Chain A
């Protein structure tokens, strides 16, 4: 049986796990129909021109893990920001792990979407926000919606500043030989509230795992959202990340994506600027080797005037790795005084590595400042020579230059612990110890 067929057939099994009367079951069924019609995207779709899922969906995956797994904290501690106190929502093979988590309902909600879906007191919120800004035509998002079961739910009420960062971590343990995960996160940040969130997907053992994740983020007036995605998974794990962000007046949302590992990673990052004077920041560092593949697909939809968006993606590709950047800026006729900037810089270190980029500007308003820049090149020979002539070994010199190249993105990371962690990860990747932090 083809995997698509299995997904359609197994939906019945899901119905045993969910409350059929909950607020979203109708949406699940509708989305399943959309997925049935559209199927998995193929390279013939313009949006998937450079990233093929054919090999991925030819395999078979388990959709629900057979048994719940608990794991000792010390084994996974290194994947947490253990140096500081945080709220944690942790999942093992898609199942909530209360032992590792640290949730709250005190002043703000950091809990599970399954709870929010089933409890009556959340019904209004779910009706207002669930699946409202997603792209209904996108088949993978529809697939996720149809299998909505578990994920993180975060609600920050009016004028509340979450004093601790929130970590959302999805582990896959490798108990299933091949596993297909579909977490669903909903994050609502009310007027004038602030939050920092770190999201991570990590497999603990080499096994075939695909995560098709959907996250909806609502930033209300004057809200501040700082979101980090750490993608440093094993070479057997693939991730399709669909993130939808809606911004109201004066809100400020930034998303940093660190793609340092994984077999195939696709980041669909969508910003909808609905109110005036929004600020949006999209930044990414991609550092790949082997036969890894990362595809950044961003959309910034400027629907209101006086908004600013800033995109900055840096990629370093070695060995047979492949990088794709597809960035679309859409400026509506009403969105006068828009200031949109987009930049994608890439370094190829190997002849077998490939970079494909396709920045897109679609502009319908005249009083705007929009620009994009894109470069593909290599490390500057003269600069390398300069460093080496001063006694810095080639490897270190290269690492230094790579650091400098990525620094633009790193410097805007607001969590010092996280910044340090990313620095360490990059140093590990480059196989050097620079003995200092940026």
Chain B
């Protein structure tokens, strides 16, 4: 049977969240609400040193005086920050010696997700630091990494064991007063990942963390800090899936990357939080602040595949401070049903001969709204700055919207900035061309969507590319062959 776009649209609308399930683990959860006491208790619970507690309190103080931003092209009911529990951790906090000791419920969850720990361990060579509602419960391959001097652990562990390193860098890229959500995160972050690559070390494997929001009614506030010392290299993966929930859940993460001279950080994200059902009920609010700083000759590359969340507000950015530094941003944002995404990047050119590339692909279906919002800024001293930006949007049906808001600010005459954006639908002639050659419409749509996203998918590490492809498949079920 020929597969028409009409049918595809229908199927898209009817598609339910496939990863929607809920793991039943006893949790140690704080009562709802946020005040100074809660911030202190989170800090206490995690046995943090005094400077950390003070830092959190300062952030909380700042947050209290800030207003939730509303400039983004998204509409949602503002969450009640006093109706959220700010801490939730699985009760069994013993260190596991082997996988057998891990809660079988948890293992089942991973199985459903297709990330069996054994498989990860033995086959893929990926060290997984799994964050299950805020506290990391399993860390693998630590030993191998330790031999190289690489530190890869949860941020709370890092605060205990590498206090000085964390203290020196935490909040330097994204200050606590940076924005509303970053301030909130700084005050109440429960856990996250910390990674340090020593001088001249090339991290032998892809570091990866799987986040899941699990406990009903808890906000997830992740904090990630990645430091690549001089001439080092690391590829970091972050992936998310969340269970089906009716009430809106809040996710306000902060990710800071520091690439010292000649270092390179590759940060890849696959985000598939619960997007809400087809009537736009429920779903995760994803308000994330991600930023990296590049010193001389260093490079930061952000790659993201955004398929989930009811509301996305996310702008991974690069501050190209060092001379000859490079920033890259590759993104696929897919929205369906009532999803809204306002995402993009900021490239701040400060150093000389800095280069940046932005490739953004937006796919909107159903009644979703997909926006690209980006800034390319060239400071007066950024001689020979170079930027290339490309934003393409694909629309399916006439109930969705695609928007672009690229800001370009140039203060140096040697800068070369290019920006282009297109919006289109899957052309009838493209489908016809394929039909003519014996490819049915379903496969043709798959081909076009795949081709449309290829430039970004190609940038993902192998393991992730497979998962990303899978997510696009789920989101555009029946169309990807």
Binding site for B on A (CB under 8 A): 46, 333, 336, 346, 348-378
> A326's closest neighbor in chain B, by CB?
B407
Q: Given A360-B404, A363-B403, A366-B395, is A372 in contact with B410 using a C-beta cutoff of 8 Å? A: no
CA A365 – CA B419 in complex, angstroms?
A: 23
Whether B423 and A370, one on each chain, are in contact in the complex, defined by CB atoms closer than 8 angstroms, is: yes
Question: Contacts A358-B405, A359-B421, A360-B403 hold; do A351 and B393 have CB atoms under 8 A apart?
Answer: no
Tell me the complex Cα distance, A374–B395, Å: 22
Whole-angstrom distance between the alpha carbons of A353 and B378 in the complex?
A: 12
Indicate whether B416 reaches chain A with its CB closer than 8 angstroms: yes
How far, in angstroms, from A378 to B384 measured CA to CA in the complex? 10
Across the interface, which residues of B come within 8 angstroms of A371, CB to CB?
A: 420-423
Could you give 23 example pairs across A and B, Cβ below 8 Å? A349-B413, A351-B413, A352-B380, A354-B409, A355-B409, A355-B410, A358-B408, A360-B404, A361-B403, A361-B421, A363-B403, A364-B401, A365-B395, A366-B395, A367-B398, A368-B423, A368-B425, A370-B424, A371-B422, A372-B419, A374-B420, A376-B416, A378-B413
Q: A348 to B409: give the CA distance in the assembly, Å.
A: 12
**Residue from the list A336, A354, A362 in contact with B403, Cβ < 8 A:** A362
Cα A364 to Cα B407 in complex, Å, equals 21
List which B415-470 residues lie within 8 A (CB) of chain A. 415-425
Give A365 to B406 CA distance when docked, in angstroms.
20
Query: Does A363 contact B417, Cβ atoms closer than 8 Å?
Result: no
- Bound Cα distance from A370 to B403, whole angstroms: 11
CB distance from B315 to the nearest CB of A (A): 15
Rounded to whole angstroms, the CA-CA distance of A112 and B49 in the bound complex is: 78
Closest B residue by C-beta to A343: B420
The A/B interface has a contact count, at CB < 8 Å, of 113
Contact A358/B418 with A363-B395, A366-B396 known, Cβ cut-off 8 Å: no
Chain A residues near B64 (CB, 8 Å)?
none
- Using CB atoms and an 8 Å cutoff, list the residues of chain B in contact with chain A: 71, 378, 380, 393, 395-425
Nearest 10 CB-CB pairings of A with B: A348-B413, A366-B395, A376-B417, A374-B419, A370-B423, A371-B422, A366-B425, A357-B408, A373-B420, A377-B416
Check A355–B401 contact: CB distance below 8 A.
Answer: no
A366 in contact with B400 (CB, 8 Å):
yes
Q: Does B407 contact A353, Cβ atoms closer than 8 Å?
A: no
With A and B bound together, what is the CA distance between A369 and B422 in angstroms? 7
Instruction: Report chain B residues within 8 Å CB of A336.
Output: 398
Bound CA–CA A207/B300 (angstroms): 52
Q: How far is the CB of B342 from chain A (nearest CB, A)?
A: 12
Cα–Cα distance between A372 and B420 once the two chains are bound (Å): 5
A363→B423 contact, CB < 8 A? yes
Shortest CB distance A389–B (Å):
22
A364 to B366, CA, bound (A): 11
Whether the pair A351, B406 counts as a contact (CB closer than 8 A) is no
Tell me, in angstroms, the Cα distance from A356 to B415 when the chains sit together: 13
B410, A348: Cβ atoms under 8 Å? yes
Closest residue of B by beta carbon distance from A328: B405
Residue of A nearest to B420 (CB): A373
Question: With A351-B412, A358-B407, A362-B403 known to touch, is A333 a contact of B398 (CB < 8 Å)?
Answer: yes
| B424 partner, pick from A356, A357, A368, A375, beta carbons under 8 A | A368
Chain A nearest CB, measured from B339 CB (Å): 15
| Residues in A neighbouring B71, C-beta threshold 8 A | 46
